[in-house]
Structure 1
Amino acid sequence: MMDISRQPGGLHCMSGKNVSSLLRYWQEKSPDNTFLKWEPLAAGKPRSWSYEQFATDVWRLSSGLLKLGVKKGDCINIHLDNSPEFLLSWFSCVHLGAIPVTTNTRSSLDELSYYLSHSESVASITSGQHVDSIKNTGAELQFILVTDESSASCGSGEVSNLYEHLGAATFTPHDVSDSDICSLQYTSGTTSRPKGVMWTHANALWGGRVTSGHLKSTPQDTALVYLPLFHTNALCYSMLSTLWSGGSMVLLPKFSASRFWPVSVENKCTWTATIPAVISALQDKPDPEGSHSFRLWGGAFSNVPGVMERWGISTLGWWGMTETISQVIMTPVDIIDEDIAMGRVVPEYSVRVVDDAGVDVSPGTVGHLLVKGVPGLSLFAGYLKNDEATDESYDDGWFITGDLVKQLPSGAIAFSDRAKDMLKVGGENVSASEVERVILAVDGVLEAAVVSRPDDFLDEVPVAYVTANGNNADIEARIVRHCSEMLSDFKVPRAVRVVEELPRIMLGKVSKKKLREMASTDFAN
């Protein structure tokens, strides 16, 4: 099923390695060092795993999955919020050579059904909160494992408790190579359906090694992780980089403004990956009681106003995407640019900024961001079952990111806009065309155009303009209701406006630029 057309040729830095070999290394080298500390926000007590205990639990769960019939190449859906079970399930799958398909727990039933069907997942690991959603997809799954340790056996045939299937605690190697697929994440694109981004074991190890190097991480570092593990940011930038360096991570179910500082101070966290909405929320809260240990925060921009002045913490800008595995552009830890920018091109990648004709532009000029790397190592292995989209994402060996950037006088790179029709809602990518596809299914809608409007907390949120057929007094409410049924909540338009016609540019193309200008005033409140 996984036909990989682009693999690194010859030997490379991850040849002969797989993800389990890295976990096994730290189990043997630093068995007593803490790898994971779980900090629940509500019920339950904090719990820690040493490298020895975490690895042992992974070997036990992988043994249980093997007895359930999981084999190399099988896709296993992991539909979980941040939790120790997410990580144990992910590592257990990759240890066997199975492929974890990590899905957003805010997905609608329609989205989740597509992910399970398209990936041909044979099983799902989820929580009691989400098990009905998995069942309702109608996917032909061999089994569903529920992670709630306190619950008894689910007893409904294919559904059982994950903890009932723990096997032998001994390490058993499996035939898994660096070029085998180890992860599948669905990312919003400009097409009507999300694309499945495939990572190899070499990709995952590359991400851990390179990100750890960018952050100058050591075994003494402790990462605070609250962004969702089903995204690259937390999975690679935080978790895999921690594993590569032999450090520790403190895991929260989600961000909590009230718990951020107490957890950070108590656990002496030294760095975290963040987003603008988090910083905004913290700026409205009291300062921490006691001294914190943060040396840096990583996110969209360097030198975020107020962070150094108030808390004495360096903020590093970075840019990357699921397809690039690690950061391609980043503020060097030891060279803090004066500009509020994403950072500089890192040594492991090559970057071009080009005009519409593919010609390199001069500094200060906005252009398309292209990235050169090695597919299957420093770039993704391809899109699942979509060779055409994979081929179209490259231009003469350069990966087309879809973002517009410019080089500043200092040499740093600043983000300008998204060339692709994408929105960024509180850190979540949203494809305008995906939302438009859903809106067009509403009776009476002739045309639909989705754009963003500014938002104080989420940076931007989707709004929709539509043309309608005849008298549709309730069409705006029906559109929002239908989108709420078919899409994740962050993709649902916050407002809809019916217009007589959509603004257009050459060849009749809808002017999204004009609509964004309209949205900033039409939906200001």
Structure 2
Amino acid sequence: MTPPAYLPWSTDPAHAHRPCVRDERHQLTYAEFAAWVEAAAGQFAEHGIGRGSVVAVMLPNRVELLVAMAAAWRLGATATPVNPAFTAEEADHQIADAGSALVVNLGPGTPDGGRPSLAADELRRVPVGPALPAARTSPDELALLVYTSGSTGRPKGVMLDHANLEAMTSMMADLMRLTADDHCLLFLPLFHVNAICVSFLSPMRTGSQLTLMSRFTVAGFLDAVERQRPTYFSGVPTIYTMLLAQPRDADFSSVRFAVCGAAPASKELLDAVEERFGFVLAEGYGLTECTCAATSNRWWGERRAGTVGPAFPGVRVEIMGSDGTVLPRGRRGEVVVQGPNVMRGYLNRPEATAETLRGGWLHTGDVGVLDEDGCLRIVDRIKDMIIRGGENIYPKEIETVLLSREGVCEAAVIGQADERFGEVPFAYVALHPGAAVTAEDLVEACTANMARYKVPVGVRILDALPKNPIGKIDKPALRRQHETVTTGA
């Protein structure tokens, strides 16, 4: 028997004429959104897109981005959202690695990886030709390839199927207590699974409405809150810090709660937001490999200060020792996850998949502690990752660019504390004897090869980088040295 069609947006007839999604140029009901998806899917089919195909979508936040992803799903294809800030080299890697058969972008002059492309403004609004066959998308088909950087430098494609999205968004909708009366204001970038799950698919499944901001600015956000009257939104600590720093107040009375994730938030920040703006800030924890989230404080219930809350219903979160045993409450170890939200694996990376999913657990690489009530506290990171305003930056990727510059012998990138972004990358290099390379040259090389948020805020050239007893670059020593220089301690 053919399984029923799975469409990750509301097809409830009761929602047909309800407001669905809007941006600066479009305002659509659920029926209008579905009709646009159907027309675009027919256009994709003319380009050979079907079951098993991959469609790359490289757009800033706008309605067409959502239409393109949903049109791919309508045909049983996979969507891979590409950061629109990527350089051509970065974008072309993802487009090629994903095996994309079609790229939806902003048109001529934007990356396409040498593949057929459609400009966002060319997406068909009205069906042409015969109607498409009935939708047959099923939960076990691949829905998303979301790329996340790894410790080896090159980003990896995290494979998330429709069952992952179904599990994640059903849990989110229940925990956030969403109804058709809710309204999400989306300003986080839609190439992240956070925005896709929390702010797009979760409200879609409940008939809620969604307002898209193309990019976040404090003034634009406050105007949107007062004009659109959202009931919730999702942000990162940097954004809430920026809101607290500005003198203007806005009417937040429509907001029931807000989500905070992607980087650790202090209790002081959470308390200050609630005191000044009047809405509850619920902090959660997760990663792309578990379809966004694994734990969350409940905005409507007790919120345990200093923790990211208990596991989602149906998800198991434990602390594991280095010997692979699950540790008792109160012990520190690696955070591991089991549940229907755990990824299928990394695209074409069997060894990395086996390592990350070993023993039937998703190994997060983060160090945490569970209290007696199962609330998780993140205390450290195993992985050498920098979180800049919610954006994950892996030093190895920057180091690879630096080492490709003629004259560079060694390179190490560490996180530097930053009041606005939490952390920013800072690079140390050593040169071959006689090399005529300046710090400015190296910053320029990074700027030409990476998105702006990955570019080091500074480069310091040393005669040699510190080493540990086995000859590897000693980053802890480098961090201590850097802190001494920057703070004068």
TM over 0.5: yes
- Residues 1:33 and 2:10 aligned together: no
Tell me the distance in 1 between the aligned counterparts of 2:111 and 2:487.
38
Equivalent residue number for residue 176 of structure 2: 215
Contact 1:56 1:170 (C-alpha < 8 Å) held by counterparts: no
Deviation at 1:401, TM superposition (A): 0.6
Residues 309/444 of structure 1: CA separation in 2 closer, same or farther (3 Å cut)? same
Match among 382, 397, 420 for residue 457 of structure 1: 420
User: Structure 1: which 5+ residue stretches go unaligned?
Assistant: 1-14, 149-160
| Contact 1:446 1:468 (8 Å CA) reproduced | yes
Q: Counterpart amino acid of 2:34?
A: A
Map 1:499-514 onto structure 2 (within 5 A).
499-514=462-477
Q: Does 1:351 align with 2:317?
A: yes
Structure 2 residue aligned with 1:420: 383
Structure 2 counterpart SS, 1:344: coil
| 1:521 to partner: Cα distance | 3.8
> Under a length normalisation based on structure 1, what TM-score does the superposition of the two structures give?
0.86
Whether 1:118 and 2:91 are equivalent positions in the alignment is no
Match of 2:110 among 130, 133, 156: 133
User: What displacement does 1:511 show?
Assistant: 2.4
Superposed CA deviations along residues 206-264 of structure 1, whole A, max 9, x for unmatched, are 22211111211111111110001111110011111111222111111011200212211
Report how far residue 275 of structure 1 moved. Answer: 0.8
Q: Provide the residue aligned with 2:237 in structure 1.
A: 276
* 2: CA distance, partners of 1:411 / 1:169: 55
Instruction: Measure, in 1, the Cα distance between the counterparts of 2:91 and 2:391.
Output: 16
Shift of residue 359, structure 1, vs aligned partner: 3.7
CA contact (8 A) 2:193 2:291 kept: yes
Q: 1:433 aligns with which of 396, 399, 404?
A: 396
2:120 is the counterpart of 1:144: no
Counterpart code for 1:252 = M
Q: Which stretch of structure 1 is more off in the superposition, 474-483 or 354-363?
A: 354-363
Aligned residue pairs: how many? 482
Question: SS of the counterpart of 2:109?
Answer: helix
Distance of aligned partners of 1:291 and 1:415 in 2 relative to their CA distance in 1, 3 Å threshold: closer
Query: How do residues 54-203 of structure 1 correspond to structure 2 at under 5 angstroms?
Result: 54-128=33-107, 131-135=108-112, 137=113, 139=114, 141=115, 143-148=116-121, 161-163=122-124, 166-167=127-128, 172-203=133-164
Q: Deviations over 1:133-161 (max 9, x none)?
A: 325x4x2x2x211123xxxxxxxxxxxx3
Cα RMSD of the aligned pairs, angstroms, is: 2.3
Taking structure 1 as reference, are residues 524 and 248 closer, same or farther at Cα in structure 2, changes over 3 Å only?
A: farther
Aligned residue type for 1:133: T
Greater alpha carbon shift after TM alignment, 434-443 vs 283-292: 283-292
Distance 1:55 1:255, change over 3 A: same
Does residue 487 of the first structure (1) align with residue 450 of the second (2)?
Answer: yes
Q: Cα gap change, 1:467/1:165 in structure 2, threshold over 3 Å: closer, same or farther?
A: farther
- Quick one: distance in 2 between partners of 1:281 and 1:524? 23
From the superposition, tell whether residues 30 and 164 of structure 1 become closer, same or farther in structure 2 (CA, over 3 Å). closer
Alpha-carbon separation, structure 2, partners of 1:57 and 1:491: 36
Q: In the aligned structure 2, how far is the partner of 1:473 from the partner of 1:364? A: 53
Question: Structure 1 residues 453 and 174 mapped into 2: Cα distance closer, same or farther (>3 Å)?
Answer: same
Counterpart for residue 252 of structure 1: 213
What is the CA–CA distance in structure 2 between the aligned matches of 1:217 and 1:227, rounded to whole Å? 19
C-alpha distance 362-509 of structure 1, shift in aligned 2 (>3 A) = farther
Letter in 2 for 1:237: V
SS of residue paired to 1:414: strand
* Contact 1:17–1:178 under 8 Å retained in 2: no
Q: Whole-Å Cα distance in 2 between the matches of residues 520 and 61 of structure 1?
A: 53
Corresponding position: 1:393 with 2:380: no
- 2:438: which partner in 1? 475
Please say if residues 449 and 465 of structure 1, whose CA atoms lie closer than 8 Å, have aligned partners that are also in contact. Answer: yes
Q: Per the alignment, do residues 322 and 17 of structure 1 end up closer, same or farther by CA in structure 2, a change over 3 Å counting? A: farther
> The residue matched to 1:186 in structure 2 has which SS?
strand
Identity among equivalent positions (%) equals 27
Correspondence 1:520 to 2:446: no
Q: Secondary structure at the match of 1:23?
A: coil
- Which ranges in structure 2 are unaligned for 5 or more consecutive residues? none
| Distance change >3 Å, CA 293–CA 24, structure 1 → 2 | closer
Matched, 1:324 2:285: no
User: CA separation in 1, counterparts of 2:14 and 2:251?
Assistant: 33
The equivalent residue for 2:9 is: 23
Kindly state the Cα deviation for residue 365 of structure 1 after the two structures are TM-superposed: 4.1
Task: Please give the alpha-carbon distance, in whole angstroms, between the structure 2 residues aligned to 1:254 and 1:36.
Answer: 16
Instruction: Note the alpha carbon deviations across 1:470-495, whole angstroms, 9 max, x for none.
Output: 13353322221211111111111111
